[in-house]
Structure 1
Amino acid sequence: MDITNNVIFIPGATSGIGLALALALHQKGNTVIVGGRRSERLDSIAAQHPGIDTVRIDTTDPAGVAAAAREVLTAHPDLNVLIAMSGISRVEDWHHRGGFLEAAEAVITTNLLGPIRLLGAFIEHLQSRPRATVITVSSGLAFAPLAATPSYNASKAAVHMLTESVRLQLADTSVEFLELVPPSVATDLLPGQADSDWAMPLDEFVTEVVEILETRPGAHELLVERVEFLRYGEARGDYDQVVATLNNADPHGK
């Protein structure tokens, strides 16, 4: 992916990693459209950051995704990058139905069906562009589970394999597929995470991601150094130690 002169839509970018990445990419000379559910946040972003466009989108609503896609493509027919950033996490207790079922359904709907619906809305358009990029967002927890968040772990593992599979199937098109794999980052994904001492500072994470985009054009996975402990545990042969360390040291995070 070239780091400049793109037209980029980022659903789920009204806060956290999404917003920080949107601002960083805008500073690199890209046209950026931020999507999100909350109109007041979108209005605030547009007011504070002239030049960034905004579109209301709720990826849990199939009709809303289709309508937002039409709005984006009407205003920005040169769109060539989609970053499927929308995601939620919930702490779950699988000892009883009331401890997980509602939360699990919400997580899977947002984290897995959301990117699938976005691809359904934009993939034909992206194939019409001379060069295009889709960036999905998984997690270090796709590769090593945190006990407190089973559905989040599973949804991100599914995003990883979905990205791998669609990349293979669309290898004959102009669309490249990248996977952003965050570690725990200081955001509001879970209570206490933004202020925790185990989460990677948000600005450091985004700076490293942009550097990877600039310097490693052939990378399929965007891996900051801090997430490699989780990503490669099985390959290194210390997966059990990674899981034990994660669950002893990090009671909430990603």
Structure 2
Amino acid sequence: MKTTGNTVFITGGSAGIGLAIAKKLTAEGNHIIINGRNQERLDNALKELPGAVGIQGDFAVEADRIRVAEELKNNHPEVNVIINNAGAAFGYLLSEETNAFEKAQIEMNVNYIAIIHFNELMIPHLLQKDDAAVVNISSLAVYGSHKFLPTYGATKAALHSYTVALRYTYEEQKNLQIYEVYPPLTNTEFSSYVGGENGIPASEVAEELFLGLEKDQFDIPVGEVKKYAAAVGEAMAKLAAQEANS
């Protein structure tokens, strides 16, 4: 799709990967609207994004999702790209945690249910555009779980499955494209409790997303995730060949 002249809304855009994406797309000539839960943090992020707009809201809350969607459609009708970046993750051991159920509910709500709901609210609007996209920020965790993030991986696997179904649903409508980005461990505050300082810079995720949009590459693995994606692709190709010859 086109990579300049878009109006892009980014959830969780006041820090980390979301802010890095906002900076990159701003530099490439796009109008940016970012969302964040904390107004002060949102205001600070806007200082780094010339011409950007902020909309405060907690995407874990249904009423906030509805309010933000209405504000976008009424006050920023030119929006044509939605980047679902806001996420939740808890690091703990199942053997030591007594509230795993509660934590899993929060993760599943933010990382999966909220995205389905917000896309449902916004896709009818996007379908009216000549060139539109939904970008879901997934994770390396799609390819396997980690004992210190015992329920987070399942939410990202669910998001991946939904994203594939969404892409199939709209594959005949060329004006709406569905992308999925798979970052590895990234050096952000969000991942600090699982060694995020050892991860790649958030700017690398933003660069890979931009290149993916430019090339219409709907699955965008980043960094070390590329080797996992390649291995899965080879396995699927072998399976398809076996089925064709059977």
TM-score (norm 1): 0.85
Aligned residues: 234
Deviation of residue 193 (structure 1)?
A: 5.0
Residue 178 (str. 1) matches residue 153 (str. 2): no
Cα distance per residue 1:45-78 (max 9 Å; x no partner): 2334330101012111111111111112222111
Partner of 1:207: 207
- Describe the shift of the 1:171–1:183 C-alpha distance in structure 2 as closer, same or farther (beyond 3 A): same
Which aligned pairs between 1:23-34 and structure 2 lie closer than 5 A? 23-34=23-34
Partner of 1:66: 66
Tell me the distance in 1 between the aligned counterparts of 2:147 and 2:230.
19
Partner of 2:87: 87
Flag the 1:164–1:101 CA change in 2: closer, same or farther, 3 A: same
- Counterpart-to-counterpart distance in 2, 1:14 and 1:83: 13
Rounded Cα–Cα distance in structure 2 between residues aligned with 1:168 and 1:236: 21
Structure 2 partner of 1:51: 51
Alignment match, 2:153: 153
The residue type paired with residue 30 of structure 2 is N
Residue pairs, 1:215-230, within 5 angstroms: 216-217=215-216, 219-230=217-228
Further displaced range: 14-23 or 85-94: 85-94
Distance, in Å, in 2 between the alignment partners of 1:212 and 1:114 is 24
Pairing of 1:116-155 with structure 2 (within 5 A): 116-155=116-155
Answer with 222-231 or 8-17: which moved more.
Answer: 222-231
CA contact (8 A) 2:22 2:49 kept: no
For structure 2, the 5+ residue unaligned runs are 236-246
Q: Displacement of 1:202 after TM fit?
A: 2.2
- State the match for 2:105 in structure 1: 105
Question: Do the aligned residues in 2 keep the contact of 1:209 with 1:222 (CA within 8 Å)?
Answer: yes
- Work out whether residues 33 and 55 of structure 1, in 8 Å CA contact, stay in contact via their aligned partners in 2: yes
Corresponding residue SS for 1:50 = coil
| TM-score, normalised by the number of residues in structure 2 | 0.88
Residues 1:171 and 1:147: Cα distance change in structure 2 (over 3 Å): same
User: Retained in 2: the 8 A contact 1:134–1:178?
Assistant: yes
Instruction: Please give the per-residue CA displacement for 1:163-218, whole angstroms capped at 9, x wherever unaligned.
Output: 10011112233311000111111112233457633x1122233223323333x22x
Q: CA deviation at 1:92?
A: 3.2
